[in-house]
Amino acid sequence: MDLRFRSQASLCSSQTSHSVRSQPCLRWVPFSANRASVGKYTTQLLSIQRGQLAGERLQSVCNDGLKGILLKKRNRLTISASMLPSVPGALQIASRLFTFGTAFVVPFYTVMILAPHATWTKKFVESSIPYVVLGVLYVYLLALSWSPETLHLMFASKYWLPELPGITRMFSSTLTVASAWLHLLVVDLFAGRQIYLDGLRCSTETRHSLVLCLLFCPVGILSHFFTKAVVHLWRKANSDVPNVAELYS
C-alpha cells in the first residue's frame, strides 16, 4: 500500500520517507483513505504522548537530499555562569564562612548588651579587628561569586542603575548570597558600634536598640534616634533626673 506523509514533511522527497516514518511521534495515513479519514488523521498528526507539538519547532535538515526531520524545542534550560561554583568545593567554603561570620559577631553584641559600661567592653568594641577579618572574607567570597555577567546584572538599566529582576537573578547564586550575608554582618556590626558609643556619650540606654540592630539593623537605628529624642525631652522637663551613666558609677 502506498503511504504518504500528510504534513510539512510532504514537501520532502521520497528519499526521506523511511527516516521520517521511523519517528514515533509522527502519524502515517494511507493515501487511499477517504477524505473524512484523512481529515481525522491530519488533525491528529501532530499529537504526541504528552500533548501537542504546538510551540515546538520542526527543523528540516538538508544534507545530500533531505534525510530527516528533527524535532527541536524552542525553549531550553540555560544555566547562568553565576550559578555555578568557580572552584571545586566553593559551596562548602561559602557555607563554612557563612557560619563563621555569623558566630564571629555574636560576642561583640553580647558584651555591648550585657556589660555596656565596663571599661574593657569599650576597648573591645572599638577594635578594628572584626572589620578587617570580615572584610577579607567578604572579598574572598566576592571573588568566588564573580562572573562575567555580574556587572551587567548590577547595572542592567540604560541609566546604569540596578533593576530588581537583575538583582534577583544575581542572588540566585549561593556564593553571592553568602558574600552578601558577610556584607550585612559588617555593616550591622559597625552600626551597632556607633549606636553603642553614641549611647555612652549621651548617657542613653542602647541595649534594646542593639538587639534590634542585630536582627533588623534599620529598625535598631530608628530605635536609637527615637530613644535619644525621648530621653532628651525627659531630661529637659526633669532636670533633676540623673544620667544613666551615673547609676552604674
Higher pLDDT pick, 202 / 30:
202
DSSP 24-38: TT---EETTS-HHHH
Higher pLDDT pick, 42 / 58:
42
Our measurement of the distance from residue 149's CA atom to the centroid of its chain's CA atoms, rounded to an integer in Å, reads 14
Question: Which region holds residue 232: left if phi is over 0, alpha if psi is between -120 and 50, else beta?
Answer: alpha
Burial of 192 (0-12, 13-18, 19+ CB in 10 A): buried
The tens digit of pLDDT for each residue in 146-162 reads 888 888 888 888 888 88
- Note whether 75 and 56 are within 8 A (CB): no
68: which 3 cell numbers? 530527516
Higher pLDDT pick, 141 / 50:
141
Residue 46 has a CB neighbour count (10 Å cut-off) of: 17
The tens digit of pLDDT for each residue in 72-90 reads 333 333 333 344 444 558 8
| Secondary structure letter of residue 164 according to DSSP | H
177: which 3 cell numbers? 548570597
Higher pLDDT pick, 160 / 130:
130
Q: Is the pLDDT of residue 63 over 80?
A: no
170: which 3 cell numbers? 544575581
Q: Is the pLDDT of residue 194 over 60?
A: yes
Selection from 201, 204, 196 nearest residue 121 by Cα: 196
Q: What count of residues does the chain have?
A: 249
- Note whether 222 and 229 are within 8 A (CB): no
Give pLDDT, residue 241: 54
Give pLDDT, residue 93: 92
Q: 218 pLDDT band (50/70/90 cuts)?
A: very high
To the question of pTM greater than 0.85 for the whole model, the response is no
Selection from 76, 230, 55, 83 nearest residue 149 by Cα: 83
Q: Which residue has the cell 510532504?
A: 10
Q: Is the pLDDT of residue 33 over 70?
A: no
Selection from 85, 73, 114, 102 nearest residue 210 by Cα: 114
Please say whether the dihedral angle defined by the alpha carbons of residues 208, 211, 215 and 218, taken in this order, is positive or negative. positive
Selection from 32, 56, 38 nearest residue 23 by Cα: 56
